[in-house]
Copies of this chain bind each other. A is one copy, B any other.
Amino acid sequence: MSLPASVTIVEVGPRDGLQNLRQVLPTADKVRYIGLLAASGLTAIEVTSFVSPKAVPQLADAAETVAGIRDLPITPIALVANLKGARNAVAAGVRRLNFVLSVSTSHHRSNVNRTREESLAELAEIVDLAEKIPGFRVRASLATAFGCPFEGQVPIAEVLRWVGAVATLGITEVTLADTVGFGNPELVRQVLLACRDRFPGITCGVHFHDTRGLGIANALMGMQCGVTVLDAAAGGLGGCPFAPGATGNIATEDLIFLCEEMDVKTGVDLARLCEASRFLQSTLPGVDLPSRVFRAGPPKPRGPISE
């Protein structure tokens, strides 16, 4: 099996993991949670989103959260959906943005209340803004790339069309997201290979939700197709508040167990990561973290395989 020697896990627990929870975590708990994630070795962490506090009350403290983690040895990433959010993120000191745009019309409308074309025009302005600020980078996350909760299947041609649209703006990092877990490994393979063929200059990441149990299998297929950037949420919480039936991201613990057991290096200490999830669990009584490895406990170190 051909796998990358190492991968970058983009930890989205503080953003995607929390955004759909009814119970609003105090900023101090978010800061501590992010600190524990960083202590496990995670360096790329999506720490919040700069979006309407009415739409996502959980993340209304985005600027305060960013201020609280200033001294951590990580690259904080913030999700934004429009130019205003991008400006607010920049003002808060964030230099890496994740711009979300759905491949399907109806989820895009439900999620950000505008057309995809309107969002693309805003993304163009964000890219202009980025050019004026040293170290500023924008990634595009294409939601519903493997299926839409309103429209069902999403044609691969439509995925390619929107990868092409953001590529035209000069964006080179794209994350393909399976918003409600409709993707299967064969579809993942087809979409990733089509993207690689058509846009060899684009680095594709993946973002899987485990809504229908295939998230880790999809992540493995992503790595088999050469993907080295994978989103995951510690504990396995998550889900888009504007996608009916959405449930958690693949759990970072489970993804790291998958990788490390197969000698794909992640740089993350699984036992310490479980401590971050344990803290998160302690702040959320009544919420069960779906991560299997978190529930089972980190595995014992293993020796070499020998016949």
Binding site for B on A (CB under 8 A): 1, 3, 152-153, 155-157, 160, 181-182, 184-187, 189-190, 210-214, 216-217, 220, 245, 247, 251, 253-254, 257-258, 261-263, 288, 291-293, 295-297, 299-300, 302-303, 305-307
Contacts and interface: CB of A to CB of B under 8 A. Distances in A.
A213 B155 contact: no
A117 to B, nearest CB: 21
Contact of A220 (B217, B262, B263): B217
A134 B199 CA distance: 61
B186 A296 contact: no
Contact of A299 (B155, B182, B251): B182
Given A157-B306, A212-B299, 14 more contacts: A1-B185, A152-B302, A155-B307, A181-B296, A184-B257, A184-B258, A185-B258, A187-B305, A212-B254, A212-B292, A214-B257, A216-B216, A245-B296, A247-B296
A206 to B, nearest CB: 14
A157 B307 CA distance: 5
25 contacts: A1-B189, A152-B302, A156-B305, A157-B306, A160-B307, A181-B292, A181-B296, A184-B257, A184-B261, A185-B258, A185-B262, A186-B261, A186-B262, A190-B305, A212-B257, A213-B253, A213-B292, A213-B293, A214-B216, A214-B257, A216-B216, A217-B258, A245-B296, A247-B292, A288-B288
Given A185-B262, A189-B1, A220-B185, A293 B153 contact: no
Given A186-B1, A220-B217, A245-B296, A307 B156 contact: yes
A153 B302 contact: yes
A2 to B, nearest CB: 11
A210 B292 contact: yes
Contacts of A185: 1, 220, 258, 262
A185 B258 CA distance: 8
The residue in A189, A211, A217, A303 that gathers the most chain B C-beta atoms within 10 A of its C-beta is: A217
Contacts of A216: 213-214, 216-217
B212 A293 contact: yes
The residue in A182, A184, A213, A217 that gathers the most chain B C-beta atoms within 10 A of its C-beta is: A213
Contacts of A212: 254, 257, 292-293, 296, 299
Nearest to A216: B217
B157 A303 contact: no
